Structure 1
Amino acid sequence: MWEECVVGGQVELFVAYAGSGDLPWLLVIHGGPDWDHSYLREPLAKMIGTHRLLLPDLRGCGRSARGLPLVNYHPDAVVDDLLTILDSFDGATADVLGFSYGGLLAQRLAITAPLRIRRMIIASSSVLPVPADSYQNWPERALACAPEREVWASPSAPEAERTRAAAFAGARANIWRSEALPEYRRRVGAVRFSADWDRARRAGALPSARIDNPLRRLSETGIPTLLLHGRYDMAFPATLAEQTAGLLPNAEAVVLDNAGHMAHIDQPDR
């Protein structure tokens, strides 16, 4: 079902793809960013009957080029990479799904090349900045997030292994339903983690992926946008998705109950 290739451009980019015929492309941008695409393959594989799927590993991630100079880890460079991938697959236009950090990159892609995007899903991410006090009245979140924070505070483990350990430690912060925890851990176990983007961040070389004036600029693109969110997301508040839908004319929000940040694992059928 899945095929794999390497796309050459400014850097070598690993891409998993599936589907055939004249169906529309769905370009999927993973988060992390020091993860890879694999944790998003399901349940998106169920869309092969309606779309051709493109799931790349971002530069510095998974099986794409790693060990680049720190200045090469830049959101605009990723936008160039994504357009190169679309061109390589003759994708004049595509639907785009950006998950978590990938949702910020999707917005940057949208304002850079609006004519290349037919529709957009911003999943488990946000258009508006996250206020510092968003979670101050949610003590359960502090408890759930504490194990991952401890991992990041420890300098002992090798960098990529620390990324992996943080992902496992963040299970309760990413998954709302206890029944979904084994599936989350299975997927995390298959991810090829890196630490290139985190090295750039710690060195002060990584600019924010957020776009300026997002409501105005995304509205100007006219791209129909779905804000897809878990009600109990501990990384990006679900209330921001609902607030954005009321302010962005071309957007609607769907908030899934009994789902956290990894809503596609908590509620795959939805």
Structure 2
Amino acid sequence: MSFTYSKLTVEGLTLRIGRNGVGAPHDAVPLLMLNGIGFNAELMEPLARQFPGRHIVCPDMPGCGNSPDPVLPYTIKRVARAMESLMEREVPGRAFDILGFSWGGAVAQQLAVTASRKVARLALVATTSGLPLPAANPEVLRRLLDPTEYGHPAKLTDNFMDLLNEGGANAGLLRRFKSPTPQGVGCQVGALAGWSAAPMLPFLRMPVLLAGMAEDAIVPIAHQRALACLIPQAETIELRSGSHLLPLATPERIGPQLVDFFGQKIAMQNA
């Protein structure tokens, strides 16, 4: 089933919100899915299908998908506040799970730190804590961080298509992709620059799952291992084959582990 979409303004950010499973049983914990840099919510739909019967919320960040460009630059902390406000509107007073993929994993970590009583379980997939660890392929990092590489819409689209192909996208995923705007990508890159939740991660008390791919050229497995050192109670999954976009392109390879993790009992402090 595909998401249904509508727009909403939270914390001054106007976002297109994808939803699935609205009206799910009350004992099914809602799930917030946070996407990668420059990605639109349609790319998350195949992974969302791994969670039938769940109320799923998946926003387009400003300048991505059909969300308008941001008026001003923003920080990861501001986006995390916006996500907390969004979920309070969607499921008032309820705890929720988070699945953060790539860039979205940074927002997920920040939200888990600043709104820990709201987060029941946290899955971080192919993401980073902001530690100064390089991409496995320096050219990938250069294309993401060099403003001249995303300042022109046509060049930005070409670079993202290269990134999708290098990340292991299949034809179905490529058809779902909608190119972001230069301002949208620029603000996401700027928000990540200088951000880190690392000092607070050892204090997380909700169940945490870390998942990464050994062949990831965009966020190498070293980032997951660093996170595992910072969150010693976390469960870990390391897939020996597969690139960065495996969770979106072939979600059946990681979906059962994620479903099993999110099916566990909610931590007592969030009950």
- TM normalised by structure 2 equals 0.79
Structure 2 residue 172 is the aligned partner of structure 1 residue 183: yes
**How far is 1:192 from its partner?**
4.6
Flag the 1:217–1:173 CA change in 2: closer, same or farther, 3 A. same
Deviation at 1:107, TM superposition (A): 0.6
Q: Which amino acid aligns with 2:63?
A: G
Report what 2:158 is aligned to: 165
**Equivalent position of 2:47 in the other structure:** 43
Q: Which residue of 2 aligns with 1:208?
A: 193
How far apart are residue 182 of structure 1 and its match? 2.3
Q: Say which SS state the counterpart of residue 244 (structure 1) adopts.
A: helix
Hey, what does 1:75 align to over in structure 2? Answer: 76
> Can you give the 5+ residue segments of structure 2 that lack an aligned partner in the other structure?
254-271
Partner deviation per Cα, 1:10-60 (whole Å, 9 max, x = no partner): 23221111112312111011111x3322211112223122x2110111233
Aligned pair count reads 247
* Percentage of matched positions with identical amino acids: 20
Deviations 1:41-92 (A, max 9, x none): 112223122x21101112332222324123xx22122112101210111252
Unmatched segments (≥5 aa) in structure 1: 136-140
User: What is the aligned partner in structure 2 of residue 7 from structure 1?
Assistant: 8
Secondary structure of 1:62's counterpart equals coil
Would you say the 8 A contact 1:29–1:55 is kept in 2? yes
| Corresponding residue for residue 138 of structure 1 | none
Partner of 1:237: 220
Whole-angstrom CA distance in 2 between matches of 1:116 and 1:7: 21
Superposed counterparts of 1:128-143, under 5 Å: 129-132=131-134, 135=136, 141=137
Distance 1:207 1:149 in 2: 15
- Equivalent residue for 1:101, pick from 100, 103, 110: 103
Seen in structure 2, the aligned counterparts of structure 1 residues 207 and 53 have a Cα distance that, compared at 3 Å, is closer
Give the C-alpha shift of residue 206 in structure 1: 4.2
TM-score (norm 1): 0.79
CA distance in 1, matches of 2:129, 2:206: 14
Aligned with residue 182 of structure 2, among 186, 195, 216: 195
In the superposition, relative to structure 1, how do residues 142 and 245 fare at CA in structure 2: closer, same or farther (>3 Å)? closer
**Deviation of the 1:223 alpha carbon:** 1.7
- Among 107, 118, 125, the residue aligned to 1:123: 125
SS in 2 for 1:239: helix
Q: Pick which of 7-16 and 21-30 moved more.
A: 7-16
Higher deviation after alignment, 191-200 or 14-23: 191-200
Question: CA, structure 1 residues 44+130, in 2 after alignment: closer, same or farther (shift >3 Å)?
Answer: farther
Matched AA of 1:167: F
| Cross-structure match for 2:256 | none
Asked if structure 2 preserves the Cα contact closer than 8 Å seen for 1:27 and 1:96, the reply is yes
Conserved 8 A contact 2:47-2:247: yes
Q: Secondary structure at the match of 2:210?
A: strand
1:18/1:53 contact within 8 Å kept: yes
Match of 2:34 in 1: 29
Deviation, 1:201, is 7.2
For residue 261 of structure 2, what is the aligned residue in structure 1?
none
Deviations 1:170-195 (A, max 9, x none): 234211xxxx532342232xx25222
**Structure 2 CA distance for partners of 1:208 and 1:256, relative to 1, 3 Å:** same
Give the Å deviation of 1:123: 0.8
Answer with 252-261 or 112-121: which moved more: 252-261
